[in-house]
Amino acid sequence: AQSVAQPEDQVNVAEGNPLTVKCTYSVSGNPYLFWYVQYPNRGLQFLLKYITGDNLVKGSYGFEAEFNKSQTSFHLKKPSALVSDSALYFCAVRDRRGNTPLVFGKGTRLSVIA
Amino acid sequence: DSGVTQTPKHLITATGQRVTLRCSPRSGDLSVYWYQQSLDQGLQFLIQYYNGEERAKGNILERFSAQQFPDLHSELNLSSLELGDSALYFCASSVVPAGGSFTGELFFGEGSRLTVL
């Protein structure tokens, strides 16, 4: 069975500082990995995905994520945080084999303080 | 705007009642997914439909059922409601079903917030 762990419920960072939101995953084969963001009273929005190739994936709004197979991690990063980045972030994984929907982590609330 | 429409946005009802949540996917998307978001369980996959047929089932209770109609809209029916069913229910859509070589993202609606009193 596939699963995702986001070890931090809350991450606080000062505006202008780099941010990292952690994610580790477990799948039986090679994963497809995704990050989504949820703003208050809104649905989830796609940020970026890892399918294959370069381990560093760039996405929307200046976010990037690094796939690390040996550590089964896919941490979300941004070099300089903005107050507007404050939101709930979800990591998701899917096994490449079979008909398996996306499995989401429980989410990490990012708070960027001015 | 993701293009996925969910109604109603808010719903308050009593225990034991039945409700229906509706989802219209993005134009052209054949696959619909239902997720439940609660504070303690996070985002849980409930069920997936592709072009009218059930494709995958997750942690969906027997009191819940869903279907996808010929016009591709989907409905999630929740019956014998309990306090613990209070949650935000999301619908998402994609062009193809999430299986095999599908690498695309899901497009989510803004959710239906169900409160059971």
Token look-up 């708070």 returns: A111
Residue B25 pLDDT > 70 = yes
| B13-24 per-position pLDDT tens digit | 999 999 999 999
Using pLDDT thresholds of 50, 70 and 90, give the confidence band for residue A99. Answer: low
Q: Report residue A96 as tokens.
A: 């490449």
Q: How far apart are the first and last CA of chain A?
A: 41
| B36-89 per-position pLDDT tens digit | 998 777 889 999 998 999 988 998 999 999 999 999 999 999 999 999 999 999
Which DSSP state fits A41? T
Using pLDDT thresholds of 50, 70 and 90, give the confidence band for residue B97. Answer: low
Partner-chain residue, chosen from A51, A100, A104, that has the shortest CB–CB distance to B43 = A104
Contacts of A101 in chain B (CB under 8 A): 33, 45, 48, 56, 58, 98
Token look-up 């293009």 returns: B3
| A54-97 per-position pLDDT tens digit | 899 999 999 999 999 999 999 999 999 999 999 999 999 988 77
Partner-chain residue, chosen from A45, A46, A98, that has the shortest CB–CB distance to B99 = A98
φ, ψ dihedrals at A62, nearest 5°: 80, 5
* Inter-chain CB proximity A107 and B33 less than 8 Å: no
Contacts of B92 in chain A (CB under 8 A): 43-44
Cα distance from A45 to chain B (closest Cα, Å)? 7
pLDDT at residue B59, rounded to an integer: 83
Q: Which helix (H) or strand (E) holds A84?
A: none
Do residues B108 and A41 touch, judged by C-beta distance below 8 A? no
